[in-house]
Amino acid sequence: MKNDTERWILYPVVKGKEVIGIEVGILKNNETQLEFWRMDPQDDYYKEIINLFRLAYSEKILTQQTMNKGGNCGRPGEEPCSTGEVVITIPKPNGPKANPHLYLPGANPGSGDPGVIGGNCGAYGNCGGGSGTGETPNDPNNNDSCGKIKEKQNNQKYKDKFEALNKAEIFNMDKETGFYELQPPLGVNAPPGFVQVDGPPGSSDMDLPDDTERISGLFHSHNNAEGSIKIFSPIDIITFINIFLKNARKYGGGYANAYSTVVTSAGSYTLKFTGTAHPGGVDFNTGEAWDKWYKQNMAEIADKDGGFPQDKVEDVFGKFLHEVVNKPGLEIFKVTVDTAEKLTYDPVTKKSQSKPCPK
């Protein structure tokens, strides 16, 4: 138990017959919400209990290997080892250890809370009713990205920001510029606001403020500088996943309300997410791998064509989103101030295809 309001179940994470970490399943909100987290290996409580799991697992596996198929269970081509019941007694996390650091599996410890996994069903999988999270999992409108984009396009403030960026003088600037959408604090009944943000002169990037709490969406431009790629960059996607999704769920009514829009002279695009569970945070090493793939494949376009034809940029980006990022529910749309087309990648033709959203 944690603060007498949450029920924790600890699971050893095993790879190569070795316990390499501890996952935590947390039942909370009167056991109507289930979250899965990874325990930070730098946490004192983790250090206190990890060897208890390792010892119990090793002893059980050694016993089973001598009893199953001459000790071959778990080896390639053989049946997996069955550990049976294992009783492990670990100390309760009291005092300063009462709040072990937790993070999403695959995320970078210490990088902040990238969101919550799961938690959209009622107790023990009863998904028929509300979840208490502000989302309705079985409502098909909750996953209608076209509808969510149309909602934004019908908002005059949203239109004004889009049109403020969709100008030749913006594209010809020597920097990026944009607006981020800031949700009101919890418990405050007020509409979200927009805050302008500018990149430094002579650059092709733009930073959000150090405090990104409550930022659920972003407009920004890509300028006409030489070598500019007029579609989302890997860091744009990482920011959307790690920051905007988390904040939209916490402050903005659900993941479906997060967005990122890039406005360029070759077309404008919006990222949306249709899932009801966070797709998992993106850590540093993953981001580096994405960036390497992206730069290599975009450079191949320039090598062959002497520039960046937008149809080929869309094809490469579609492959990147489909095969490299590979986050189910993450979608891209080509947009204007009042229209949207969903882009999907066909791995057979290796082309991006578009389907207009209903007007």
CB 221 within 8 A of CB 161: no
Q: Look up residue 65 and give its two tokens.
A: 């290997």
Question: What are the residues facing 345 on neighbouring strands?
Answer: 352
Q: Per-residue confidence at 307, pLDDT binned at 50, 70, 90?
A: confident
Taking all residues of the chain, what is their mean pLDDT, rounded to a whole number?
Answer: 79
pLDDT at 110: 42
State how far the Cα of 75 lies from the Cα of 72, in Å rounded to an integer.
6
Q: Residue 271 is which amino acid?
A: L
Residue with the larger pLDDT of the pair 321 and 89? 321
Q: Per-residue confidence at 41, pLDDT binned at 50, 70, 90?
A: confident
pLDDT digits (tens, 9 = 90+) for 257-289: 999 999 999 999 999 999 888 998 999 999 999
- Cα distance from N-terminal residue to C-terminal residue, the chain: 51
pLDDT digits (tens, 9 = 90+) for 98-154: 455 665 554 444 443 333 333 333 322 333 333 333 333 333 333 478 999 999 899
Token pair 């967005």 is found at: 259
The mean per-residue pLDDT over the stretch 317-341 comes to 95
Residue with the larger pLDDT of the pair 54 and 349? 349
pLDDT digits (tens, 9 = 90+) for 56-88: 777 666 555 444 444 455 555 555 555 555 666
Q: Residue 259 is which amino acid?
A: Y
pLDDT at 231: 96
CB 242 within 8 A of CB 216: no
* DSSP string over 176-234: -EEEEEEPPPTT-----EEEEEEPPTT-S-----S--TTEEEEEEE----TT---S--H
Q: What are phi and psi of 126, to 5 degrees?
A: -80, 100
Angle 47-53-57 from CA coordinates, rounded to 5°? 150
- Quick check: 25 pLDDT over 60? yes
Burial label, 53 (beta-carbon count in 10 A; 0-12, 13-18, 19+): buried
- Quick check: 23 pLDDT over 50? yes
Q: Look up residue 174 and give its two tokens.
A: 């020597």
Q: Per-residue confidence at 5, pLDDT binned at 50, 70, 90?
A: low
Q: Look up residue 225 and give its two tokens.
A: 């500088």
State how far the Cα of 156 lies from the Cα of 167, in Å rounded to an integer.
18
Strands 215-221 and 259-264: parallel
State how far the Cα of 352 lies from the Cα of 319, in Å rounded to an integer.
8
SS3 38: strand
* pTM attached to this predicted model: 0.62
